Amino acid sequence: MQNTTAFTLTGQRITRELGTVRGIVVRSRSVLGNIGASIQTIFGGDITLYTDLCERARQDAFARMCAHAQERGANAIIGIRYDATEVMAGVTEVLCYGTAVVVESA
């Protein structure tokens, strides 16, 4: 699945737009993860437990978006964006969305 945050793909011509596709993941932090992250904050720097959690959530949301695009018959996604919203304390929704398209070599 070709993809880009831009609205064009170099060397490709968009032949059909299939509409918006999205992938949504809702994640919570575990109690043990929060304790480990709290310990990391004492020393400062990158809180790797949260970094890893966020990266996995983004990867899962992206994979779900790609599956949604394939279901619609797309071979590419343009204009990809991410959004995150805290649903409640410790629970975050990660949304990945874009426009599903069919492209062919220009």
Record the pTM: 0.86
Amino acid residing at 28: S
Q: What are the structure tokens assigned to 26, written together?
A: 């809702």
pLDDT means per 10 residues, the chain with 106 residues, are 96 98 90 66 75 92 98 98 91 96 96
What per-residue confidence (pLDDT) applies to 46?
77
**Neighbour count for residue 62 (Cβ, 10 Å):** 20
What per-residue confidence (pLDDT) applies to 90?
79
The architecture of the domain spanning 2-105 is 2-Layer Sandwich (3.30)
Sequence ranges of the domains in the chain: 2-105
